[in-house]
């Protein structure tokens, strides 16, 4: 019988984990957290009082993406179809939570598991090098749980930010690389763009990047750039208490704007609807959008993402922030499906609801 797991199953799950995996085992602490507090659902297959297998699904707040975090079947019961049954039950759990796709990572040498997922309709979409404790690579697989949805995704390579404050440079690197494959996706480039486009101060930590600085960085690298900003005043200053720091941010942004006005960068003071974003996307633009991180991470800070596609109900994005503390991996951050109505609420920051969009095209355009 397949049923939801509870905290009373903790010891049995730990025993099963040790029987099934030699490395990368979930700890008692991780199981307890995911069973009680984490944004996850765990199901078990139990017969005659013995747990024969389990599946664990993680969910991303604010998105319609699920991740099969772990699936295990007791070695004594393998070859009886339990893995397929648990997988099907995990997919149903994801559907009930309004998820439209399931993703997972699996060791590249796990031929039995790979065969199971391929038979269930999963398709490989990437490789994560050196993913496991023993340095084995992971294959990334995905299955559409709502197969009528066919996002027309632009081919945007993924690059995860390496510092808490470099989402803008990481997003810009992804957008530029989508238009020019010769763009180097590396930390040196990430930090170079950050130095060029930071507004010096942000909250109590390192400075974040505003749309003007990022637009200038993209233009200097040979791209055609268009910027939409919802207001003419300084951005993000509400995040800073110090009047001196606010003044520095204003001066930096005024300097950025003055440089933009001397260049063929289109600067619009206005907003774009989700439909407007889609029009620019269909016209060949690659879009960086400022969002509030609250709906995804429950923390209030400005955050840049890259739009990768649209369909009738969803907008798809690459999120450069890989929250490893919350058991996220790059697999969770690629082409994240977000309901259009939810994205419209997400694509603003601060009490004033500041909005910003940067649109990149090839330089010759």
Would you give the end-to-end CA distance of the chain in angstroms?
A: 60
| Residue whose entry in the numeric block shows the structure tokens 């601060």 | 350
CA distance 71 to 57: 9
* Shared-domain flag, residues 6 and 94: yes
Q: What is the pLDDT of residues 181-229, one digit of tens each?
A: 999 999 999 999 999 998 876 555 677 899 999 999 999 999 999 999 9
Whether 87 is covered by a domain: the verdict is yes
Output the pLDDT for position 39.
Answer: 87
Domain range enclosing 218: 167-361
* Shared-domain flag, residues 111 and 188: no
How far is CA 155 from each of CA 10, 125, 189, rounded to the nearest angstrom?
42, 12, 20
User: Is pTM, for the whole model, over 0.85?
Assistant: no
**DSSP-assigned beta bridge partners for residue 303:** 291
| Residue whose entry in the numeric block shows the structure tokens 């050196």 | 130
Distance of CA 218 to the CA centre of its chain: 22
CA distance 203 to 75: 52
Whether 252 is covered by a domain: the verdict is yes
Check if the beta carbon of residue 161 is closer than 8 Å to that of residue 167.
yes
* Shared-domain flag, residues 51 and 182: no
Output the pLDDT for position 168.
Answer: 96
Give the chain's residues under pLDDT 70: 147-154, 201-205, 364-365
Output the pLDDT for position 351.
Answer: 80
Q: What is the CATH number of the domain that holds 239?
A: 3.90.70.10
Q: Average pLDDT, whole number, for the chain?
A: 90
DSSP 326-355: GT--HHHHSSEEEEHHHHHHHS-BTTTTB-
Strand pairing report for 101-107 and 65-73: parallel
* Shared-domain flag, residues 130 and 171: no
Output the pLDDT for position 279.
Answer: 95
Q: What is the pLDDT of residues 29-53, one digit of tens each?
A: 999 999 998 889 999 999 989 999 9
Output the pLDDT for position 329.
Answer: 82
**Domain end point (choices 144, 175, 200):** 144
CA distance 112 to 109: 9
Check if the beta carbon of residue 335 is closer than 8 Å to that of residue 151.
yes
**Domain end point (choices 144, 179, 201):** 144
Output the pLDDT for position 199.
Answer: 81
Number of structural domains, the chain? 2
Output the pLDDT for position 31.
Answer: 94
What is residue 258's three-state secondary structure? Answer: helix
Whether 202 is covered by a domain: the verdict is yes
Residue 253: CB atoms within 10 Å? 21
Q: Provide the 8-state DSSP code for 201.
A: E
């Amino acid at each position: 019988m397949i049923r939801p797991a509870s905290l009373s199953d903790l010891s049995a799950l730990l025993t099963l984990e040790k029987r099934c995996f030699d490395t990368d085992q979930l700890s008692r602490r991780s199981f307890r957290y995911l069973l009680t507090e984490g944004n996850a659902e765990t199901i078990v297959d139990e017969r005659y009082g013995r747990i024969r297998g389990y599946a664990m699904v993680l969910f991303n707040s604010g998105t319609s993406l699920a991740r099969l975090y772990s699936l295990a079947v007791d070695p004594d019961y393998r070859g009886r179809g339990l893995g397929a049954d648990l997988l099907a039950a995990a997919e149903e759990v994801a559907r009930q939570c309004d998820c439209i796709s399931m993703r997972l990572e699996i060791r590249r040498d796990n031929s039995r598991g790979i065969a199971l997922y391929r038979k269930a309709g999963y398709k490989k979409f990437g490789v994560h090098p050196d993913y496991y404790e023993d340095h084995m690579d992971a294959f990334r697989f995905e299955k559409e749980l709502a197969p009528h949805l066919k996002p027309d995704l632009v081919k945007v390579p993924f690059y995860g930010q390496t510092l808490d404050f470099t989402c803008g440079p990481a997003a810009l690197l992804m957008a530029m690389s989508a238009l020019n494959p010769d763009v180097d996706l590396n930390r040196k480039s990430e930090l170079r763009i950050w130095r060029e486009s930071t507004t010096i101060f942000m909250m109590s930590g390192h400075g974040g990047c505003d749309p003007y600085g990022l637009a200038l960085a993209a233009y200097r690298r040979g791209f055609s750039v268009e910027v939409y900003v919802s207001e003419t005043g300084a951005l993000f200053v509400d995040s800073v208490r110090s009047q001196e720091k606010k003044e520095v941010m204003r001066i930096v942004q005024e300097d950025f704007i003055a440089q933009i006005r001397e260049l063929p960068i289109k600067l619009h003071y206005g907003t774009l609807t989700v439909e407007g974003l889609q029009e620019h996307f269909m016209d060949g633009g690659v879009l960086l959008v400022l969002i509030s991180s609250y709906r995804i991470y429950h923390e209030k800070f400005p955050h840049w993402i890259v739009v990768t596609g649209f369909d009738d109900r969803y907008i798809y994005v690459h999120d450069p922030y890989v929250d490893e503390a919350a058991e996220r991996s790059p697999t969770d951050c690629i082409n994240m499906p977000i309901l259009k109505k939810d994205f419209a609420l997400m694509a603003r920051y601060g009490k004033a609801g500041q909005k910003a969009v940067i649109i990149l095209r090839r330089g010759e355009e």
